[in-house]
Amino acid sequence: MSRNAEDLAALVRGRAGAAPVRVGLILGSGLGHLAETVAGTAIPYGDLPGFPHAGVSGHNPNLVVGDLEGVRVAVFGGRAHYYEKGDPAAMRLPLEVLKALGAEALILTNAAGSLRPDIGPGDLMLLSDHINFSGLNPLIGEATDARFVPMTAAHDPGLRAALRAAAEACGVPLPEGVYAWYSGPSFETPAEIRAIRTLGADAVGMSTVPEVILARFLGLRVAAVSTVTNMAAGLSDEKISHEHTKAMAPLGAAKLERVLRAFLGNFR
């Protein structure tokens, strides 16, 4: 844990109170509404030196610490992506701060393209596993043996079971699938989508995987849910764009919010 992370955690505790955080949530494109519903303290990323500027439109750059369904949470209203500055470890400091605040678990959300005909725009997908199609790794340069992180059950089976149960209780379908990380910021070609389909991917997106690796490195249990905003390149006639992603994300966001609330309501 860096000194900087301990200092930032102290700053957060000073503003939001000293009670330990239990669960962290990172909100993807167009999914920021949940942060506004937390009873707690919003701290702009700009007040947290070293936090990303979250320059992608559709992201809400506050860290909100407070209560959601009776659980003390830290909600990250925006993330830094590899494609912004070429740094796969761009989210390391925020996740170190989350760990320093006492968190046990991290739930990641993202917008993604679907490769599965049975999962369409507006649907949710729980990540059972991922493919690091970028070949990049946020732990390159880490000097300790802790860098050799086992990734066999990286997407925590217990958290996944709890998320599936929460979805079922809400009547929201939550199929599981494999997410492939593509660096972006350009979208994939149809040939790339056919290639990763052959490799076993069910969804594709530009985030999440480096955060899963960092979370496991830090000893946080982690799970991730995609909101499908489009069929991946070449799989439908609709045009793929960031505007489309932002416009479609709210379709799944309301369902995602219900699932996350039900999950937190039963979090032990």
Torsion sign, CA atoms 239, 241, 246, 250? positive
Sign of the Cα torsion 96, 131, 247, 191 reads: positive
Please, what is the end-to-end C-alpha distance for the chain in angstroms?
26
Instruction: Indicate the residue among 37 and 241 with the shorter CB distance to ligand HPA.
Output: 241
User: Quick check: 263 binds ligand HPA (CB under 6 A)?
Assistant: no
At position 87, the amino acid (one-letter code) is D
Contact 164, 174 (CB under 8 A): yes
Exactly one of 91, 108, 204, 218 binds ligand HPA (CB under 6 A); that residue is 204
Cβ at position 187, least distance to ligand HPA in Å: 5
Is 211 a residue that touches ligand HPA (CB under 6 A)?
A: no
User: Which of these ranges, 76-84, 89-97, 105-113, 115-123, lies near ligand HPA under the rule CB under 6 A?
Assistant: 105-113
| Cβ closest to ligand HPA, residue 100 vs residue 226 | 226
Q: Does 112 bind ligand HPA (CB under 6 A)?
A: yes
Q: What is the DSSP string of 8-56?
A: HHHHHHHHH-SSPP-EEEE--TT-THHHHTSEEEEEEGGGSTTS----S
**Binder of ligand HPA out of 111, 159, 253, 256 (CB under 6 A):** 111
Q: Shortest gap between Cβ of 207 and ligand HPA (angstroms)?
A: 8
Residue in the shown chain whose Cβ atom is closest to ligand HPA: 113
Residue 36 or 243: the one with the smaller Cβ distance to ligand HPA is 243
Contact segment (CB under 6 A) with ligand HPA among 97-105, 121-129, 146-154, 200-208 equals 200-208
What is the C-alpha separation between 19 and 21, in angstroms, rounded?
Answer: 7
Question: Binding residues for ligand HPA, per CB under 6 A?
Answer: 111-113, 182, 187-188, 204-206, 229-230, 232, 240, 245
Residues noted as catalytic: 29, 59, 81, 83-84, 111, 206-207, 230, 242
